[in-house]
Amino acid sequence: MNNLTKITATILAGGFGTRLCSVISGQPKVLAKVNGRPFMAYLLDQLSQAGVKKVVLCTGYLGEQVKATFGKFYNDLVLSYSQEQSALGTGGALRRALPVLKSDPVLVLNGDSFCQTDFICFLNQHITGKATASLLVAEVPDIGRYGSVKLSADDEIISFEEKGKKTGTGLINAGVYLLNHTFLESIPKDTNVSLEHEIFPLWISKGLYGFRSKGNFIDIGVPQDYAAAGGFLKSSIKAFSIN
């Protein structure tokens, strides 16, 4: 496959942003300004440049602000919304949105992180490897804050390590996924559940694979990294053209 025009993407945009309250109080984390623009605008730019046409925004906390900011269209993207009425976690929010996620697989992005990658290569590996779920993984100099992902020689995910247990260079979950409907349908309905901590581990040895990105990664979840995001996005987007 050489384009993503038929792939539905979704951005998980329902987080409370608790650790960023001191700097972005009163707005959802995805609207935190970076170089004068909402952080989520950079994710939408990335999807648009990859050829995606339809994006579902899974909103929660102050979701009305997200809808008021982006509306129904962003450049050539058609936007729709799945608003949770109570906190459902990353897994529960996706399960709730399943009726409007028309493609199989679905491309999923966490709304508080950005990773440079080649989405076409990611999709092709997912398809040719007959994966049920694929996670983009990125190498970082210190896995301590994130936890780590271990891959087999053929890139099947064989384990997850909780954050804080180890430090040093390693691979982490970069918050970008390709998920088949079979996987999405396995998530319990109307339940607050975490993809990362509760659902993905259940799929080890059942079609769960990693795709190694050569691009840079940032997560704006803590004030220190949020402060660094402006410089990161300016330099990284300009320098990066393909995986």
What are the tens digits of pLDDT across the range 77-100?
Answer: 999 999 999 999 999 999 999 999
What confidence tens digit (pLDDT) does each residue in 134-173 have? Answer: 999 999 999 988 989 999 999 999 999 988 788 899 999 9
Q: What is the pLDDT of residue 120?
A: 96
Region 121-125 average pLDDT: 97
By the 8 A CB rule, do 9 and 54 touch?
A: yes
Q: What is the pLDDT of residue 242?
A: 36
Region 4-28 average pLDDT: 86
What does the alpha-carbon distance between residue 241 and residue 83 come to, in Å, rounded to a whole number?
Answer: 33
pLDDT band at 241 (very low <50, low <70, confident <90, very high): very low
The CATH number covering residue 218 comes to 3.90.550.10
Bridge pairing between strands 8-13 and 54-59: parallel
What confidence tens digit (pLDDT) does each residue in 98-112 have? Answer: 999 999 999 999 999
Three-state SS sequence of 119-160: HHHHHHHHHHCCCCEEEEEEEECCHHHCCEEEECCCCEEEEE
2 inside domain: no
Note the pTM of the prediction, 2 decimals: 0.94
Encoding tokens for residue 164?
């804080």
Bridge pairing between strands 37-38 and 133-140: unpaired
3 inside domain: no
100 inside domain: yes
Quick one: which H or E segment has residue 31? none
Q: How many CB atoms lie within 10 A of CB 180?
A: 18
168 inside domain: yes
Crossing angle (nearest 10°) for helices 63-70 and 39-49: 50
Question: 203 is in which domain, residue-wise?
Answer: 8-239
Q: Give me the residues paired with residue 150 across strands.
A: 159
Region 62-79 average pLDDT: 96
Nearest partner of 77 among 11, 32, 31, judged by Cα: 11
pLDDT band at 21 (very low <50, low <70, confident <90, very high): confident
pLDDT band at 33 (very low <50, low <70, confident <90, very high): very high
217 inside domain: yes
Q: What is the pLDDT of residue 162?
A: 84
pLDDT band at 19 (very low <50, low <70, confident <90, very high): confident
Mean pLDDT for the chain? 92
Domain count, the chain: 1
Region 120-141 average pLDDT: 97
